[in-house]
């Protein structure tokens, strides 16, 4: 089926290479999360926003991750987190060249 | 580089197989859009929301698509469209198993 988790929040940096360096250890940890298929890391230095698009195997894994990750972001001082869970429409996504 | 376009909006259906049937012709058209690498179609029947996560080759293609698609959604009667453009942090995304 595939559950997509969409998260974004206000973020003032670091961006680009410095963001990569700052969050590589966290990324290696996130890669081990139960039920995670992949995460795409997003950043926008003009809008001062960042976030992530995640694909999970099932709803329970996505919900548990969201709860844990929201608390982690808040512990970093992040406020104004926007999170949405969706099912993926697989046939339409295949028509538009997505590998899901 | 990779530009990610995140769109979501209020939506009351059709969902699932009926959504697939209703929007397959549109999906085949979207697959041909300039600069599009892929689109993932999202739906949530509990929250009455739908949307899409797109990966584009460049910012200009993503911005042109967003302008056209917003007008198209509004012509369908959709209101309350939320759209965000992001750069993809490629090294962090690779660490979390995304093929981008």
Q: Indicate the SS3 state at residue B86.
A: strand
CATH classification at residue B27: 3.30.70.100
| Domain contains A100 | no
Identity of the residue in B23, B40, B88 whose CB atom sits nearest the CB atom of A100: B40
The boundaries of the domain holding residue B12 are 3-95
Contact A89 B43 (CB under 8 A): yes
ipTM reported for the complex surpasses 0.85:
yes
Burial (Cβ within 10 Å: 0-12, 13-18, ≥19) of residue B54: buried
Cα–Cα distances (Å) from A92 to A4, B29, B66, B94, B100, in that order, read: 15, 11, 19, 25, 20
Looking at the complex, does the CB of residue B59 fall below 8 Å from at least one CB of chain A?
Answer: no
| Domain contains A39 | yes
| Domain contains B47 | yes
Q: What is the pLDDT of residues B44-99, one digit of tens each?
A: 999 999 999 999 999 999 999 999 999 999 999 999 999 999 999 999 999 999 99
What is the number of domains present in chain B?
Answer: 1
């Amino acid at each position: 089926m595939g559950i997509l988790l969409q998260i974004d929040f206000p973020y003032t940096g670091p961006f680009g290479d410095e963001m990569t360096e700052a969050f590589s250890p966290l990324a290696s940890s996130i890669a081990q999360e139960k039920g995670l298929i992949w995460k795409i890391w997003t950043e926008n230095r003009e809008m001062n926003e960042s976030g992530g698009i995640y694909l999970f195997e099932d709803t329970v894994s996505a919900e548990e991750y969201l709860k844990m990750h929201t608390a982690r972001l808040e512990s970093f001082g992040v406020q104004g987190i926007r999170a949405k869970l969706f099912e993926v429409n697989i046939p339409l996504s295949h028509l538009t060249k997505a590998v899901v």
